[in-house]
Amino acid sequence: MREQNIRMKAEAALGGEDTFLQGVKDCIPTLLGYLSIGFAAGVVEKTAGLSVAEIALMSLCLYAGSAQFIAAGMMAANGSASAIIITIFFVNLRHILLSAALSPYFRHLPGVRNMLIGALLTDETFGVAINEAARQKRISERWMHGLNITAYSNWFLANIAGAFFGQWIADPEKFGLDFALPAMFSGLLVLSMVSRKKWVLDSVVAVSAVVITVGVSIAFGANIGVIAATVMAATIGMVVEKWK
Amino acid sequence: MEVRWEVLLIILGAALVTFLPRVLPLMLLSRLALPEWGVRWLSHVSIAVMAALVGQEVLLHEGNWVSLSSNVELLAAIPTFLVALKTRSLLGTVVFGIVAIMLLRYWLA
């Protein structure tokens, strides 16, 4: 009885904060990021030789800025399909941690509905959702779909806009657009190191990764460099952490 | 408006390897838990892969070492890092990086 009462009060207090529309509204602060990075991705993909249809398909199926930049860059450099897919696998492996962190809030739902929530998970929507969880102690499924679908449709529109704009750019390097990828990863790297606050350990991992990728790329080719560096540097980090 | 087979293959393969890490923990973690060392290894993957990508993009050109004295990308990357540290804004960092390399290429060309 008492439990039920508290629950009803809690729901009344939340009043409308868990609707689909509220999820749409809570996505708004991240939209500028989606629009600009999605636009840059569309331009870079177009100048890498992808057609508008291919860009549309990529933004809808892949829906990951970092992976799309990598695909465009490696396709322009004639990377093999397997190297592109394996590199993207490692880049997007971080989603395991985001998905795992959200899983306690959706444990009551059946598998397929969890799949629908996870399929559109990104760094940004995770950031908004985990804030919501900290505030409300719960995340509503409808709210999550509102957030996810808003981000997803903006990403798609921004990619298409970038693809059309990219048709008029003959030389993307002249405008520095090829630098969007390293700049974005520099930013993501710094931001995650700032939030983790494990400066020494993270620096050891980062420096190892740079040294290994340069060494392996020169010796065995650029295709394998990033993959080997990721596996080895993450292992170094795991061992150093254990050993300290 | 065509979609080439080779490109379709890459898109579908990349989409699959992106989809699985996104959905599997949400679908399965109520039933099983990752081992502790696995969580620790994964927690280093994102730092490792991002540093490796930056290293490859900035220090190498088509798989070959670029001498430090003629490396414009490195010259742009250093202030880009500082801007990221200072502003903590992803968008600001990307815009700064693009403008920095554009100006450096213009001046040094």
Q: Which of B3, B44, B85 sits opposite A234 (nearest CB)?
A: B44
First and final CA of chain B: distance in angstroms? 36
Is A62 close to B105, i.e. CB distance below 8 A? no
First and final CA of chain A: distance in angstroms? 51
Low-confidence ranges of chain A (pLDDT < 70): 1-17
Q: Give pLDDT tens digits for A145-186.
A: 999 999 999 999 999 999 999 988 877 778 888 888 788 889
Q: pLDDT at position A1, please?
A: 44
Is B97 close to A242, i.e. CB distance below 8 A? no
| Contacts with A237 from chain B: Cβ below 8 Å | 40-41, 43-44, 47-48
Is B53 close to A174, i.e. CB distance below 8 A? no
Q: Which of A86, A25, A113, A76 is nearest to B18 (CA)?
A: A86
CA distances from A202 to A127, A137, A151, B44 (A): 21, 30, 30, 8
| Contacts with A225 from chain B: Cβ below 8 Å | 52, 56, 60, 63
Check if B33 contacts A (Cβ < 8 Å): no
Is B11 close to A71, i.e. CB distance below 8 A? yes
Q: Which residue of B has its CA nearest to A93?
A: B21
B77-81 long-range contacts, CB within 8 A, separation 24+: B77/A182, B77/A183, B77/A186, B80/A182, B80/A183, B80/A186, B80/A187, B81/A186, B81/A190
Q: What ipTM was predicted for this assembly?
A: 0.87
- Side chain identity at B17, as an amino acid letter? V
| Contacts with B47 from chain A: Cβ below 8 Å | 189, 192-193, 196, 202, 205-206, 209, 233-234, 237
| Contacts with B96 from chain A: Cβ below 8 Å | 183
Write down the mean pLDDT value for chain B: 90
Q: Which residue of B has its CA nearest to A106?
A: B26
Is B27 close to A118, i.e. CB distance below 8 A? yes
A132-136 long-range contacts, CB within 8 A, separation 24+: A132/A26, A133/A102, A133/A105, A136/A14, A136/A17, A136/A18
**Distance from B71 to chain A by nearest Cα, in Å?**
13
Q: pLDDT at residue B106 above 60?
A: yes
Q: pLDDT at position A6, please?
A: 52
Q: Which of A95, A97, A214 sits opposite B43 (nearest CB)?
A: A97
Q: Give pLDDT tens digits for B27-69.
A: 988 666 778 888 888 888 888 988 998 999 899 987 789 998 8
- Side chain identity at A226, as an amino acid letter? V
Whole-number Å distance between alpha carbons of A121 and A152: 9
B37: which DSSP letter? H
- CB neighbours (10 Å) of residue A156? 18
Is B26 close to A176, i.e. CB distance below 8 A? no
Q: Which residue of B has its CA nearest to A51?
A: B1
